[in-house]
Structure 1
Amino acid sequence: MNFSFWEADSWIQNIDYSIVGSGITGLNCALRLKELDPGSKILVLEKGLLPEGASTKNAGFACFGSISEILEDLKTHSEEEVVELVKKRVKGLELLRKNLGDREIDYQNYGGYELFVPEDEELYAKCIRKIPEINELLEPVFHDKVFSLEENKFGFRKIQPKLIYSKFEGQIDTGKMMSALLKKAHSEGIKILNRVEVKSFDSAADYVKIETDQLELHSKNLLIATNGFGHRLGIEEVKPARAQVLITKPLEKLPFRGTFHLDKGYYYFRNIGDRILFGGGRNLDFKTEETDQTGLTEIIQNNLKELLKTCILPDIPFEIERSWSGIMGVGDQKKPIIRQIAPNVYAGVRLGGMGVAIGSLVGRELADLALKS
């Protein structure tokens, strides 16, 4: 590479912390490092023109899990583990709002609802029956009842008669969130290189050699915050999961405001101003959607449009303005991976589709781990 003295001196030499990924986790990690080690030189490496995983491609749900998701988690996690997961999500959202401010991220607390299709009669009945038990389980976190029943006042069709409501759920604008994080990072002197993909690393006793598609770097520490792309750097417990999303053009009469979950969280929709964002459906084709390649498939896009037409907006004409996809990081456990993986190398990945909720906290804990080691 043809670097001048100034470029090399300012950007790529004597790096204390290199962070892979400029999404919500990576930037929060960088800001935490700068807070606790203000004299350090921090470089963030991002393979995309913009953060390429899910930070600016998700639906912007400020949520902690619908009741059916929590019941599903209780099949593979203890009650204590589930409460701790919810607590982390709540704490992460509080941290996000505190760090950036509600106005900066356009936080709106319209509440959240879970819908059930007729075929889910058994699950629907179970969720209603379990409301008191789950409310009691989560009372130490929220100090209030979390879930209650609401009438279908939005005109949804082909769903069970009652909705399960939570007043604690909100929504944000993830574009504004990332803009605010980038502005804060730049103001702290944190360097960010885009279009640089980390291919491999080799850790030694006092430095890490980082191979990218553009150049080779040496850094005292390497922190991996690539979530669904973690497997590319050898973190096998993370599996990529593609999520497809679409958004309508503005509607003349918006029938609702809030966040909504359907089919055990595999579908989700919300208002963005007078538009409706609708995403999900990877359960239609798990094998194809277990990929770290962005893209769209006909089966899922057609399904999303059909559900919009028959269930969510049955009497309201709409047009689709844009469709896209993002890459999440999932695995056998919902708990994120925050650990040292080699000398001077640390990872904070596997956010389990809850990046908005826990990304700030995972970034903070990743930085704390590196500073303590």
Structure 2
Amino acid sequence: MNLSYWEIKTWFTEVDFTIVGSGIVGLNTALQLKNKFPSAKIVILEQGFLPQGASTKNAGFACFGSLSEIIDDLTTHSEEEVLNLITKRINGLQLLRETLGDKTIDYQNLGGYELFTKENEPLYNLCQEKQEYINKSLKPIFNDDVFSFKPNNFGFKNIQSRCCFNQFEGQLDTGKMMEALLHKVLSLGVKIINNCTVETYSEGTSDVKIKTNQFEFSTSKLLIATNGFASRLIDEEVKPARAQVLITKPIHNLHIKGTFHLDRGYYYFRNIDNRILFGGGRHLDFKTEETDEFGQTERIQNALERLLKTTILPNIDFEIDHRWSGIMGVGQQKKAIVKQLSNNVFCGVRLGGMGVAIGSSVGKDLADLME
């Protein structure tokens, strides 16, 4: 790009911190850095015209894990690790709400429900069996029982007669959340450059040279917050995971309110503006969905539509209004990677599909690595 003297001087000279990614983590990192270093010059580089990845693509669940997800996590993580993960998610959600305000992000505590298919009776029985144990384990965090079982009063079909209720789960408006975060960051003088992809970087003694698809410049510190796209820049144990989503047109007298999980959280849906937003299904084709390319597949879209017709909205006429996908960052372990990679390069990635819950705290932890 043919940059002018003014552009170089104003945007790309004496940059203290450069953040790659203007999603939840990147923006919260910038907020925390401005709190720590008010006079610092901060530049955020974003590959999309809007924050890409999952930050503007997610379903807006303010959640920390369904009962079956927690039970499943206990098979691959220690109990201490699982409790730490849940605590991190709760604290992250609280930080998000404190930072932006419940009214701003349209936060609503309508509760969360987990549904169990008729075919998956073993999982249903396991969750009922483990409910008391999980509640007891979570008591020190919530000071109350988290999970209980309630009758299916929503008219869902082909599921067990009772569903698991989580009284502490909420929902928010993803668009309002991201708009508020962007406004807050820009108001502090942070510069955001969109449609700018970081291709490579090289570290010198006291700075980092960044090569983008548009220009090159140097920064004192480089912070990578690209989550699902992290493998393009760094060699850490984080893989992309695409999540496909659809939303219906408005449905008259929609009676479904709350957030809902199905099949260990691999499917999820909620109400929003008298519509049903429904996503998931990557477990039907893990290999294909291990990609950082946006798009939909016929297999998963058909599965989502079929579940809408047979299970979620039986006997209700509906039309699909829009479809999209988001890119998450996942790994064998669910703990986020927040670390110093070299003298002047740092990262905050692998949010494991819990970006809304932990994005704020990961951003704070990443900023706290700066001296």
Superposition TM-score, scaled by structure 1 size: 0.98
Check if 1:191 corresponds to 2:174.
no
* SS of aligned partner of 2:276: strand
Contact 1:155 1:255 (8 Å CA) reproduced: no
Residues 254-308 of structure 1 deviation map (CA, whole Å, 9 limit, x = unaligned): 0210000000000000000200000000011111000000000000001100000
Superposition TM-score, scaled by structure 2 size: 0.99
Aligned equivalents of 2:266, 2:103: Cα separation in 1: 29
Aligned equivalents of 1:266, 1:54: Cα separation in 2: 16
Aligned to 1:52: 52
Contact 1:60 1:173 (8 Å CA) reproduced: yes
Aligned to 1:89: 89
Residues 122-154 of structure 1 deviation map (CA, whole Å, 9 limit, x = unaligned): 111010111110001111111110000111000
Aligned to 2:350: 350
Aligned to 1:130: 130
1:1-373 maps to which residues of 2 (within 5 A)?
Answer: 1-369=1-369, 371-372=370-371
AA partner of residue 219 (structure 1): T
* SS of aligned partner of 1:39: coil
Unaligned runs of 5+ in 2: none
AA partner of residue 133 (structure 2): E
The alpha carbon displacement at 1:315 in A equals: 1.3
* SS of aligned partner of 1:342: coil
Residues 195-233 of structure 1 deviation map (CA, whole Å, 9 limit, x = unaligned): 000011111221001111111110000000000101111
Aligned equivalents of 1:358, 1:58: Cα separation in 2: 13
* SS of aligned partner of 2:209: strand
The alpha carbon displacement at 1:243 in A equals: 0.1
Aligned equivalents of 1:41, 1:9: Cα separation in 2: 12
CA RMSD for the aligned pairs? 0.7
* SS of aligned partner of 1:270: strand
Aligned equivalents of 1:367, 1:268: Cα separation in 2: 32
Contact 1:204 1:343 (8 Å CA) reproduced: no
AA partner of residue 167 (structure 1): Q
**Deviant stretches of 4+, over 2 Å:** 1-6
Please identify, of 19-28 and 114-123, the stretch whose mean Cα deviation from structure 2 is larger: 114-123
Residues 26-80 of structure 1 deviation map (CA, whole Å, 9 limit, x = unaligned): 0000010011000100000000011110001000000000000000100111111
Aligned equivalents of 1:205, 1:25: Cα separation in 2: 27
* SS of aligned partner of 1:362: helix
* SS of aligned partner of 2:341: strand
Residues 133-180 of structure 1 deviation map (CA, whole Å, 9 limit, x = unaligned): 000111111111000011100000000111000110000111110100
Aligned equivalents of 1:267, 1:111: Cα separation in 2: 17
Residues 75-113 of structure 1 deviation map (CA, whole Å, 9 limit, x = unaligned): 111111100000000000000000000111110110000
The alpha carbon displacement at 1:3 in A equals: 2.4
Aligned equivalents of 2:236, 2:26: Cα separation in 1: 19
* SS of aligned partner of 2:235: coil
Unaligned runs of 5+ in 1: none
The alpha carbon displacement at 1:8 in A equals: 1.5
- Give the % identical residues: 63
The alpha carbon displacement at 1:119 in A equals: 1.6
Contact 1:148 1:166 (8 Å CA) reproduced: yes
The alpha carbon displacement at 1:321 in A equals: 0.2
* SS of aligned partner of 2:107: coil
Aligned equivalents of 1:109, 1:235: Cα separation in 2: 39
The alpha carbon displacement at 1:25 in A equals: 0.3
Aligned equivalents of 2:136, 2:9: Cα separation in 1: 57
* SS of aligned partner of 1:178: helix
